[in-house]
Amino acid sequence: MTAMRDRFDLTGRVAVVTGGSRGLGLAMARGLAEHGADVVIASRKRDACEAVAAELRSTFGRRAIAVACHVGSWDDCTRLVETTYAELGRLDVLVNNAGMSPLYPSLGALSEELWDKVVAVNMKGPFRLAALAAERMAAAGGGSIINVSSVGAVQPTTVELPYAMAKAALHAMTAGMSHAYGGTVRVNVIMPGPFLTDISKAWPAEVRREIERTIPMGRCGEAEEVVGAALYLASDAASYTSGAVIKIDGGWAYRAG
């Protein structure tokens, strides 16, 4: 019988984390490296990715590389996967974390350009990366894909509707791919609620108070509080988990009232 601590060991595995230079992506990248994984940090800003990769190499002694990638670009997604195999030789864990939800004046005033950007980053890119990764993972014997969604996917509001619609699509994609690849490639969703990342620094004080008033736990999450779920889904501890949605939101979604 394998000891439970060994089931969480990621030594020898390679993980790609999109949006890995800040926020939840950064926290998950650190957690994966701490538990033995070599990590590819991907985002649009190469300098920020390089800084995180250097930190992971220095702190955890892992191989870590930076790849500038706009996940809304089909070609960039292909290049990210190809670079991972060329530089690190394999891909065992894909964390589709990159996302964006720009403000807009109203649903009717939403521009086509903004709509296309939101859908590209939050839906098109994760699909392309997952499709490319899953094929090669399956051929190599297995892997794990973690799609980072949002509570907006199940309780959308008008201020984030395109984002919520795209994130809801990740749930459908996860269900379909979990069937397509059976237990060979496990595909799951982490569904976070409000977290105190760098994005939250732009919230007016009254907005944060109102958000926290509606959260049953009475507070927003800290980035490190998403890491346990990511480690579980990435590791052999989740060997019988596929097609799941893990809600990490202080009880916010599906709350009463």
What residues act catalytically? Answer: 163
- Whole-angstrom Cα distance, residue 122 to residue 162? 9
Q: Looking up tokens 């994984």, which residue turns up?
A: 37
- Please count the other Cβ atoms lying within 10 Å of the Cβ belonging to residue 37: 28
User: What local confidence, expressed as pLDDT, does residue 254 receive?
Assistant: 85
Reply yes or no on whether the pLDDT at 255 is more than 80.
no
Reply yes or no on whether the pLDDT at 27 is more than 80.
yes
- What is the rounded average pLDDT of the residues 170-195? 96
- Count of residues making up the chain: 257
User: What local confidence, expressed as pLDDT, does residue 174 receive?
Assistant: 98
Domains detected in the chain: 4-248 (3.40.50.720)
User: What local confidence, expressed as pLDDT, does residue 257 receive?
Assistant: 55
pLDDT band at 157, cuts 50/70/90? confident
- Please count the other Cβ atoms lying within 10 Å of the Cβ belonging to residue 38: 25
Bridge-based pairing of strands 185-192 and 143-148 is parallel
Please, what's the b/e burial string for 239-253 (b: 16 or more CB within 10 A of its CB; e: otherwise)? eebbebbbbbbbebb
Reply yes or no on whether the pLDDT at 200 is more than 80.
no
Q: What are phi and psi of 220, to 5 degrees?
A: -85, 165
Reply yes or no on whether the pLDDT at 14 is more than 60.
yes
Reply yes or no on whether the pLDDT at 207 is more than 90.
no
Reply yes or no on whether the pLDDT at 106 is more than 70.
yes
User: What local confidence, expressed as pLDDT, does residue 198 receive?
Assistant: 76
User: What local confidence, expressed as pLDDT, does residue 201 receive?
Assistant: 73
Read off the amino acid at residue 135: E
- What is the rounded average pLDDT of the residues 209-213? 88
Closest CA to 48 of 34, 69, 63: 69
Residue pair 122/166 in contact by the 8 Å Cβ criterion: yes
- What is the rounded average pLDDT of the residues 39-59? 97
Measured CA to CA in angstroms, residue 128 lies from 74, 87, 169, 210, 227 at distances of 7, 20, 13, 36, 24
Tell me the whole-structure pTM to 2 decimals: 0.95
pLDDT band at 149, cuts 50/70/90? very high
